[in-house]
Amino acid sequence: MEATVTFIFNQNSFQISCKSDQKMGQIFSQFATEFKVDKNDFEFYYNGKKIDENSTYLSLTIANNISISIEKKVENNEMSFLYMQ
């Protein structure tokens, strides 16, 4: 099974096609490469739960075209919210 993940960041978008057995960490790395950011500066959440980078897309039972929140880590524990669909 293949799915499309769309990242929206700083008013730019980037689509990634992924396979059901692909690890989320690989998907996050593609996001970081495209937007020239360090993926370790961000945390990724689905339904309020942090996504484990070692989880596969299929194991999360994520439907295509859903929203995942991207939270930027900030030293003083404040978070800024971004979204991907």
The three state secondary structure string of the chain is: CEEEEEEEECCEEEEEEEECCCEHHHHHHHHHHHHCCCHHHEEEEECCEECCCCCECHHHCCCCCCCEEEEECCCCCCCEEEEEC
- Residue 85: predicted pLDDT: 46
Containing domain of residue 44, as a range?
2-84
Instruction: Count how many Cα atoms sit within 13 Å of the Cα of residue 37 in the half-sphere of its side chain.
Output: 16
pTM over 0.75: no
Please report, for the domain that includes residue 42, its CATH number: 3.10.20.90
Q: At residue 78, what is the residue type? A: E
Query: What are 33-61's pLDDT values in tens digits?
Result: 988 889 889 888 877 788 899 988 878 76
- Residue 74: predicted pLDDT: 67
* Domain tally, the chain: 1
Q: At residue 58, what is the residue type? A: L
31, two tokens: 């996001």
